[in-house]
């Protein structure tokens, strides 16, 4: 850990420091190939085209990781992109930007977030402390490297002198196999990934100390199923705008309930605005969006998420503010209904959206993956939900629209519901 108040260390400098202390320790593992810290620091010390401006790249996870290290070595901003993304003009990128990362776009158009080394280094330091990441540990990284979740693991591991076991996306059978074959200590998963591993019968190895859950809401049935099987879940809250994880609920923090993401990272002030939205200020909060918006004059980020704080300062996330439905004159949130329906036997996956209706205002529509029949699903819903939150229509799907980070694509849900109604 660097002393408080000292200058943040860029990503490649962490690699070089680890190489100086542990040159032969594994730094990056991809398939059968392993780079030591000495290998990786040397190989990525250069290799970028001449220039000082931002570098945008869309490639495999390995190439995006190597590009991140190389851009850091040359103090050039890096903008990792998914294959289908058009590269925006980057001429006006502010100085000191280390990473440009797109928001997931699950609620609409993605936005380019600007993060500098100070925010990324602060996030890595806080995450490593909360998750106990140490030199010699191995983090299995199966998250997309064009999302903050995947990029943040590079920073955490370089900072701690831990190895990155890199997968090119999530394939449940390959992840399950590596959990058995490799000494994995840490892994990041979205709930849909965790559910897939549980469906395969994958058990946590003895080496595994932390499973960081984020990216989407975790349901109580999935939490209970995973913890009963011995998975050490750290339920987190974060976003591109906070350089990933900014609040965490640890296994020894007591009873858990849906939406609970624990205490904010040290140095962060979290409050709830008058409109119910979560507001955050602290060392991990972004410099702003590429269009210079996003942060108020006090350095505070107003998120799109609804939340509440308990007496102990622990944060509970209630869902996206934009997703709120008004059914029968009452505010109901899709996440509340989804969490309830997910606990019904026979439901494999579930999403809830709304359609305009002259009687209800928002007509609650449930999109279901699984063999559960409608009568059983509605009987379960009536036992646990108020009348206004009951699904008025139920549609069957083979799978739900989720992006590469596992988040439901809410706009696509509305289109599916409207198409089924037509």
Q: Do the domain assignments include residue 310?
A: yes
Q: What is the mean pLDDT of residues 61-87?
A: 89
Residue showing tokens 């370089």: 158
DSSP string, 91-158: TTPPTTEEEEEE---TTSS--EEEEEHHHHHHHHHHHHHHHT--TT-EEEE-S-TTSHHHHHHHHHHH
- The yes-or-no verdict on residue 422 having pLDDT over 80 is no
Count structural domains, the chain: 2
| Predicted pLDDT at 4 | 43
Residues 176/200, Cβ–Cβ less than 8 Å: yes
Tell whether 404 and 288 lie within a shared domain.
no
Tell whether 262 and 355 lie within a shared domain.
no
Tell whether 173 and 222 lie within a shared domain.
yes
Tell whether 376 and 393 lie within a shared domain.
yes
CATH number of the domain to which 193 belongs: 3.40.50.12780
Q: What is the mean pLDDT of residues 39-48?
A: 92
**Which of 303, 320, 337 delimits the end of a domain?**
320
Q: Do the domain assignments include residue 68?
A: yes
315-371 pLDDT, tens per residue? 999 998 888 999 988 889 998 899 899 889 999 999 999 999 888 899 999 999 999
Tell whether 131 and 73 lie within a shared domain.
yes
Tell whether 231 and 270 lie within a shared domain.
yes
| Predicted pLDDT at 87 | 62
Tell whether 338 and 405 lie within a shared domain.
yes
Q: Do the domain assignments include residue 21?
A: yes
d(CA 164, CA 30): 9
What is the distance in angstroms between the CA of the first residue and the CA of the last residue of the chain?
Answer: 58
**Which of 320, 340, 359 delimits the end of a domain?**
320
**Which of 287, 304, 320 delimits the end of a domain?**
320
Q: Do the domain assignments include residue 76?
A: yes
Q: How many CB atoms lie within 10 A of CB 238?
A: 24
Percentage of the chain lying above the pLDDT 90 cut: 76
Q: Do the domain assignments include residue 3?
A: no
Q: Torsion angle of alpha carbons 245, 248, 250, 256, nearest 10°?
A: -130
Q: What is the mean pLDDT of residues 94-99?
A: 89
Segments of 207-323 assigned E as strands: 210-213, 233-239, 244-249, 260-264, 269-272, 277-281, 288-289, 301-309, 315-320
Tell whether 214 and 252 lie within a shared domain.
yes
101-147 pLDDT, tens per residue? 988 655 557 788 999 999 999 999 999 999 999 999 999 999 999 99
280-321 pLDDT, tens per residue? 999 999 989 988 889 999 999 999 999 999 999 999 999 988
Q: For residue 316, how many C-alpha atoms fall within 13 Å in the half-sphere facing its CB?
A: 13
Q: Do the domain assignments include residue 120?
A: yes
CATH number of the domain to which 349 belongs: 3.30.300.30
237-277 pLDDT, tens per residue? 999 999 999 999 999 999 999 999 999 999 999 999 999 99
Flag the least confident range among 91-100, 148-157, 221-230, 295-304. 91-100
Tell whether 135 and 269 lie within a shared domain.
yes
Tell whether 268 and 407 lie within a shared domain.
no
Tell whether 68 and 199 lie within a shared domain.
yes
Q: What is the reported pTM?
A: 0.88
d(CA 187, CA 165): 9
Q: Do the domain assignments include residue 186?
A: yes
142 forms beta bridges with none
Segments of 13-54 assigned E as strands: 26-30, 33-36
Q: What is the mean pLDDT of residues 400-421?
A: 84
Q: Do the domain assignments include residue 343?
A: yes
Q: Do strands 301-309 and 138-141 pair parallel, antiparallel, or not at all (unpaired)?
A: unpaired
Tell whether 381 and 313 lie within a shared domain.
no
Could you list the residue range(s) of the whole structural domain that residue 290 is in? Answer: 11-320
């Amino acid at each position: 850990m660097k002393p408080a108040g000292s200058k943040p260390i860029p990503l490649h400098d962490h690699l070089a420091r680890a190489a100086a202390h542990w040159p032969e320790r594994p730094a990056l593992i991809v398939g059968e190939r392993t780079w030591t810290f000495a290998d990786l620091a040397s190989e990525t010390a250069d290799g970028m085209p001449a220039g000082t401006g931002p570098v945008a790249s869309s490639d495999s996870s390995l190439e995006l990781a190597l590009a991140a290290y190389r851009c850091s070595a040359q103090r050039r901003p890096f903008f990792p992109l998914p294959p289908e993304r058009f590269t925006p003009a980057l001429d006006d990128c502010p100085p000191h930007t280390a990473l440009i990362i797109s928001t997931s776009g699950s609620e609409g158009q993605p936005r380019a977030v600007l993060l500098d080394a100070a925010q990324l280094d602060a996030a890595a330091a806080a995450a490593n402390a909360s998750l106990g990441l140490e030199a010699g540990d191995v983090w299995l990284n199966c998250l997309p490297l064009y999302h903050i979740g995947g990029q943040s693991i590079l920073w955490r591991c370089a900072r701690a002198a831990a190895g990155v076991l890199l997968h090119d996306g999530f394939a449940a059978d390959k992840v399950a196999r590596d959990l058995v074959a490799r000494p994995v200590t840490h892994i990041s998963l979205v709930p849909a990934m965790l559910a897939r591993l549980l469906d395969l019968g994958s058990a946590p190895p003895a080496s595994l100390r932390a499973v960081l859950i984020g990216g989407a809401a975790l349901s109580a049935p999935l939490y209970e199923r995973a913890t009963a099987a011995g998975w050490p879940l750290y339920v987190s809250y974060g976003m591109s705008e906070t350089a990933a994880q900014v609040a965490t609920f640890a296994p020894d923090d007591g009873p858990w309930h849906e939406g609970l993401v624990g205490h904010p990272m040290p140095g962060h002030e979290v409050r709830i605005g008058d409109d119910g939205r979560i507001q955050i200020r602290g060392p991990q909060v972004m410099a702003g969006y590429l269009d210079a918006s996003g942060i108020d004059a006090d350095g505070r980020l107003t998120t799109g998420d609804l939340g509440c704080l308990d007496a102990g300062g622990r944060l509970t996330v209630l869902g996206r503010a934009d997703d709120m439905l008004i059914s029968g004159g009452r505010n109901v949130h899709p996440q509340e209904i989804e969490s309830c329906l997910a606990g019904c036997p026979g439901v494999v996956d579930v999403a809830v959206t709304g359609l305009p209706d002259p009687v209800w205002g928002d007509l609650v529509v449930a999109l279901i993956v699984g063999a559960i029949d409608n009568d059983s699903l509605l009987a379960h819903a009536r036992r646990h939900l108020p009348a206004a939150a009951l699904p008025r229509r139920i549609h069957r799907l083979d799978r739900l629209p989720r992006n590469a980070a596992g988040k439901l694509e809410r706009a696509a849900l509305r289109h599916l519901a409207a198409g089924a109604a037509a």
